[in-house]
Structure 1
Amino acid sequence: MSLLALSEHALHWETLQPTLELADLPTGNTHAIALQPRACSSIRSFLANSHRSLLVLKANEIAEMAKIVQTFVQSQLNEDNPVTGVKYTVEKGEKSDFPYVTIAKAESLEDNFSAQQNINTALYFDHAKLFGSIRQHPISKDIQLIPGLVHQLNGGVLILSLSALLAQFDLWERLKNILITHQFDWYSTHPFKALPCDIPSYPLKLKVILLGNRDELATFSELEPELYLLGDYGEMDSYFLVESPAQQIQWSDFIQNFAKENHFPELTLDGLNKLYQLAVRDSEDRTCISIAPNSLREILSRTTLISQGKPLNAMSFEQYFQQKQFEYSFLREQAYSDILNEQVYVATDGEIIGQINGLSVIEYPGTPLIFGEPSRISCIVRFGDGEIVDIDRKNELAGNIHGKGMMIAEACLAGLLNFQSQLPFSASLVFEQSYSDIDGDSASLAIFCALVSALTDIPLPQHIAVTGAIDQFGLVHAVGGVNHKIEGFFAICAQRGLTKKQGVIIPSSTCHQLSLSDEVVSAVKKGEFFIWAVDDIFQTANLLFQRDFLEEEGKVYTADNQTLSYLINQRIEQKIESTQHKGFWRWFNR
């Protein structure tokens, strides 16, 4: 397949970045809660159901989400609720008597011990703040009852942070008892000291919303197995779907409103589109955008500094992206420097048998940096008992998923070649110069190609890197981090000098993840770099080996274009015949 033919099969540059379908600039009237349809439904049902007292709400960025939830709950509550609650009267006893406490129905907010408000949020609390306290004067022995949040919100809604409840799990048992019995009883907090006097209990009906992330919810549900029997469940989404033009308009309108509420300049149309492209890189899905408030505030605040208070356009967001990449780039540049100085050998030109450039995503602990890096995968075959040795796995440098991908590549090859028994050859595969743990099955397509190259003695082009996971039938499936992987290989090629032949093979199913940097898109537009999307190993073989893997009906094959499967079987047969021939003469000469 010629260079022209290869370029014709490559992705067009306009498909490498997503684009919003916006005709006009949004006005900015959409609030954050409008992007939370699941949470809204759960909260409405919970508030309307008088038989349920607990709602467990999954949420990230608890402080921000608590504000959004409180505002929405407030809008759903009836402001004209009648006065509920009680009033306590404390009568000082005689010298020999204890104080005497009586209880009566509250007649106004002024004399109301409980039900002083209808909603409140507590991200941190202790026993006294939650359940109130009893104070006793050290000399006069007078007592004073201090209401806690549960008293103040009698008949209302209390929003609590699950992390604070996990840190003081003993509070949950008392709170659960209140939610089940709808009654508040006074207890002494001291294990060996009783209450200074008898204090009457009273009816307390409270609705509680617990906010926590998935890890906190998992831990809490282990400690409280009946959690989801006691309470309803809902989710505050961290991402918003923009599958339709209407949803894109809604998201864009929310962004304008978010900028207005946080005193940032408005965004231009191209600025909204650039922000969308940056958000897709985080979610790795063009139809799914992060709406995390802290993340949005960080991006908009730094972009505002760059734009110097002017409307936020595409250039401002691109400068923000480049500045952030520069600030985070030390470890990435060190890794690339090792490759460019050949401390780590990665070829980006020429052809080599049994060697291919796979693509990895690198994450370092203690830093938010994520970047792509090419990894040299090599394969050596010899005829033997069918064992394929995964050197990384054997030395405990690779995880279970990587091992699974290796076995799938082996099974796929055996199935396509229709071997009746075990493989008639042995092989060893390794990630060269890899000194840390690797995992994942995204290298299984590259491993398959390296194995085929070694078996056919046909070299692989080193100017093409490969990523993709395969199944036993040869289909290529999606992998993660495709933007980082492409940009990592491009960075190495660009610093060595683009040859107008270099590129990356990716699964077709990852095209919806693509939101590449302007630098890569520009190179593709100029024909200096290519990105090919494949559905199966047959398309991959055509690109890398410029041959069919299996015979196609009606096609004539010669020595110059013989199929890969034919070459593999021919080589195996020749080796078997050679081995049998040598065995005969060895027996004859005895």
Structure 2
Amino acid sequence: MSSSFFQEQSLTWDTLQPQLTITEAPILPLDFWTLQPTAQKALSLFLQHSARSVMMLKADDKADYAELLIPLVRQMLPEERSILGVNYSVAQGDSFSFPQISVEPAKSPEDNFAGRGEVLTALYCDQFQLFGNVKVHPSSQDILLTPGLIHQANGGVLIIDSATLLAQFDLWQRLKHILQTQRFDWYSAHPFKALPCEIPSYSLNTKVIVLGNRTELATLGELDEDLYRFADYAEIESYLSMADMKEQKNWIGYVQNLAKESGVTLDFSSFHKLYQLLVRESENRFLINSSPTVLKNMLLNAATFSQKTFLSAVDFEAVFQQQARQHGFLREQTYADILNEQVYVETDGEIVGQVNGLSVIEYPGTPVKFGEPSRISCIVQFGEGEVVDVERKNELAGNLHSKGMMIAQACLSNILELPSQLPFSASLVFEQSYGEIDGDSASLAIFCVLVSALSDLPLPQHIAITGSIDQFGLIHAVGGVNDKIEGFFTICKRRGLSGKQGVIIPATTIQQLSLSDEVVSAVKNGEFFIFPVEDIYQACELIFQRDLVMEEDKIYEENETPISRLIQQRIDFRAEPAKKSLFNFFRF
């Protein structure tokens, strides 16, 4: 394949990194809730609804969001709120009588259990902190009633962590009863010991916001099947839309606000770099992480690393490179094995029945994630029609991997119009793979290596492939495309870029691209190529330089025979019975 062909088929360098469409930063900084209008409206309706007392609020960074919720909720509550709660009067007992406790409506916030209408947070608490406590002096037996968070938030809002309720599920059951009845009853903390005397109950009017991630809220819903008959639900969106200029402008205003709080100033190039780095995490140019924790860490990391308060794109790129080195030990060891040929991955020449797939490696217990090329090989024998997935046979592959393998097989049978019983047997292997693999992102590579083995056409080893296919040959998006591209690029660069190397990716993943400056520079200089494909027909034309199936009204030269025709010729040749001869007749 000539370099001109590569240039025509591949992506241009300026499409490999996302760019903001806005050309200048807004003047006014914006707060976080400007970016969360749906959650803000849901909270307002919940606080105004007199009959609703609990809201399940999906939030990932609970500590930060709890702090952000306090001023918002206070702003939404009416400024003048009536005094709620009671004042407990305790007449201590003696050796001849029990203590007597009476109750009267509170007249001022200073009364014993007067509700202050506060907005309180409790990301962790026990039953005494939440519901208060009855303390009995060990010698005098005097009684002291101490209020809990539920009393202090009477007339206000209590923000609590779902993890606390899951760890101590009896807290949720009692809290739910209080919110449903709007009444607080005293209970002994000891299961086999009664209260020292009767303590009157009293009315409570507290609203509770339960913060939790999706998994925690799902678990709470499984434990309490009636949860959402009783509770409202809303979400603090984990990802922000960046599809139009107004949304980008709001995001930049929010970043300016965080930068001001962090004591740093950003030039306009910083917003582009922050956006590119966030797209790498989200793998979507139209959605980026909204977490204030993530953004604050990026700002403070750049300020600390550069020892400056005025930051540019160069400073954020320097931190990105530093973190890549800091997390790079396992990645470098993996690449060293390939470069030292302890793991065999070819990046030059052509081989029949062998292709470079692209995978993402993750190590549990670490934040390490990187791309690694994987050699996939296929051997074909004409026989009973079984396609043997060696990984699956040895229980080294998951269900999604097996699904991709079956789809690749079904797709090929459909295109070749073969009978249900395939007239060949094949063995497919991820060579030198010693751990578990899963996912269907190798199904395009599996299809191509199967086609190569059947047609006896070589595959270029300087092209790596990723993508999932369906039974009709359409190629669909996969995850980790940036890591996959950069992993294969690193191996090629360290061996020496030939000007032919590149990767085939699904066209639908273009919006996921946010590649490193190093890859972008190589593409710009014509040293590396990225080919987007929409279906298997485009993929096969690209790597085999032939049509997959015969097109009508097209005349083919001998060296242009469609791949399906080559496969059918081989099948027909093997299926044809051996001709009888006089020699065979007399042969014993």
* TM-score range normalised by the length of the shorter chain: over 0.9
- SS at 1:581's partner residue? coil
- C-alpha deviation, 1:94, in angstroms: 5.1
Structure 1 equivalent of residue 18 of structure 2: 18
Q: Could you tell me whether the CA contact under 8 Å between 1:22 and 1:269 is conserved in 2? A: no
Q: Could you tell me whether the CA contact under 8 Å between 2:441 and 2:478 is conserved in 1? A: yes
- C-alpha deviation, 1:423, in angstroms: 1.1
Alpha-carbon distance in structure 1 between the residues aligned to 2:94 and 2:335: 84
Q: Could you tell me whether the CA contact under 8 Å between 2:351 and 2:459 is conserved in 1? A: yes
Q: Could you tell me whether the CA contact under 8 Å between 2:355 and 2:461 is conserved in 1? A: yes
Structure 2 equivalent of residue 27 of structure 1: 27
Alpha-carbon distance in structure 1 between the residues aligned to 2:507 and 2:421: 32
Structure 1 residue 462 corresponds to structure 2 residue 461: yes
- C-alpha deviation, 1:346, in angstroms: 0.4
> What does 1:473-552 align with in structure 2 at a 5 Å threshold?
473-552=472-551
Structure 1 equivalent of residue 96 of structure 2: 96
Structure 2 equivalent of residue 304 of structure 1: 303
Distance 1:135 1:568, change over 3 A: same
Query: Structure 2 counterpart of 1:211, which letter?
Result: L
Structure 2 equivalent of residue 445 of structure 1: 444
Query: Structure 2 counterpart of 1:78, which letter?
Result: P
What's the TM-score, normalizing by structure 2?
0.97
Q: Could you tell me whether the CA contact under 8 Å between 2:31 and 2:254 is conserved in 1? A: yes
Alpha-carbon distance in structure 2 between the residues aligned to 1:208 and 1:580: 83
Query: Structure 2 counterpart of 1:259, which letter?
Result: A
Alpha-carbon distance in structure 1 between the residues aligned to 2:175 and 2:397: 47
Query: Structure 1 counterpart of 2:388, which letter?
Result: V
Distance 1:520 1:582, change over 3 A: farther
- C-alpha deviation, 1:219, in angstroms: 1.8
Distance 1:113 1:448, change over 3 A: same
Structure 1 equivalent of residue 245 of structure 2: 245
- C-alpha deviation, 1:499, in angstroms: 0.3
Query: Structure 2 counterpart of 1:185, which letter?
Result: D
- C-alpha deviation, 1:163, in angstroms: 0.8
1:35-55, Cα deviation, whole Å (9 max, x unpaired): 222321221121111111110
Structure 2 equivalent of residue 168 of structure 1: 168
Structure 1 equivalent of residue 345 of structure 2: 346
- SS at 2:254's partner residue? helix
- C-alpha deviation, 1:232, in angstroms: 0.7
Q: Could you tell me whether the CA contact under 8 Å between 1:477 and 1:507 is conserved in 2? A: yes
Alpha-carbon distance in structure 2 between the residues aligned to 1:270 and 1:183: 57
Structure 2 equivalent of residue 132 of structure 1: 132
Query: Structure 2 counterpart of 1:114, which letter?
Result: A
1:293-343, Cα deviation, whole Å (9 max, x unpaired): 222222111100233223211110110110010101100000000000000
Q: Could you tell me whether the CA contact under 8 Å between 1:114 and 1:147 is conserved in 2? A: no
CA RMSD, Structure 1 to Structure 2 (Å)? 1.6
Query: Structure 1 counterpart of 2:47, which letter?
Result: L
- C-alpha deviation, 1:136, in angstroms: 2.1
Query: Structure 1 counterpart of 2:18, which letter?
Result: P
What's the TM-score, normalizing by structure 1?
0.97
> What does 1:304-453 align with in structure 2 at a 5 Å threshold?
304-453=303-452
Structure 2 equivalent of residue 144 of structure 1: 144
Q: Could you tell me whether the CA contact under 8 Å between 1:28 and 1:255 is conserved in 2? A: no
- C-alpha deviation, 1:459, in angstroms: 0.5
Structure 1 equivalent of residue 575 of structure 2: 576
Of residues 23-32 and 162-171 in structure 1, the stretch that sits farther from structure 2 once superposed is: 23-32
> What does 1:280-299 align with in structure 2 at a 5 Å threshold?
280-299=279-298
Alpha-carbon distance in structure 1 between the residues aligned to 2:103 and 2:558: 101
1:442-495, Cα deviation, whole Å (9 max, x unpaired): 001001110111111111100000000011111100000000000000000000
Alpha-carbon distance in structure 2 between the residues aligned to 1:411 and 1:588: 44
Query: Structure 1 counterpart of 2:291, which letter?
Result: A
Alpha-carbon distance in structure 2 between the residues aligned to 1:548 and 1:393: 31
Query: Structure 1 counterpart of 2:103, which letter?
Result: I
- C-alpha deviation, 1:58, in angstroms: 1.1
- C-alpha deviation, 1:117, in angstroms: 3.5
Q: Could you tell me whether the CA contact under 8 Å between 1:352 and 1:459 is conserved in 2? A: yes
Structure 1 equivalent of residue 178 of structure 2: 178
Query: Structure 1 counterpart of 2:579, which letter?
Result: H
Q: Could you tell me whether the CA contact under 8 Å between 1:461 and 1:544 is conserved in 2? A: yes
- SS at 1:128's partner residue? helix
- How many residues matched? 588
Alpha-carbon distance in structure 1 between the residues aligned to 2:3 and 2:572: 34
- SS at 1:25's partner residue? coil
Q: Could you tell me whether the CA contact under 8 Å between 1:279 and 1:289 is conserved in 2? A: yes
- C-alpha deviation, 1:582, in angstroms: 6.8
Query: Structure 1 counterpart of 2:19, which letter?
Result: T
Alpha-carbon distance in structure 2 between the residues aligned to 1:585 and 1:250: 87
Query: Structure 2 counterpart of 1:188, which letter?
Result: S
Alpha-carbon distance in structure 2 between the residues aligned to 1:257 and 1:583: 90
Structure 2 equivalent of residue 230 of structure 1: 230
Q: Could you tell me whether the CA contact under 8 Å between 2:389 and 2:428 is conserved in 1? A: yes
Identity %: 57
Unaligned runs of 5+ in 1: none
Q: Could you tell me whether the CA contact under 8 Å between 1:6 and 1:543 is conserved in 2? A: no
Alpha-carbon distance in structure 2 between the residues aligned to 1:585 and 1:525: 66
Q: Could you tell me whether the CA contact under 8 Å between 1:442 and 1:469 is conserved in 2? A: yes
- SS at 2:88's partner residue? strand
- C-alpha deviation, 1:21, in angstroms: 1.6
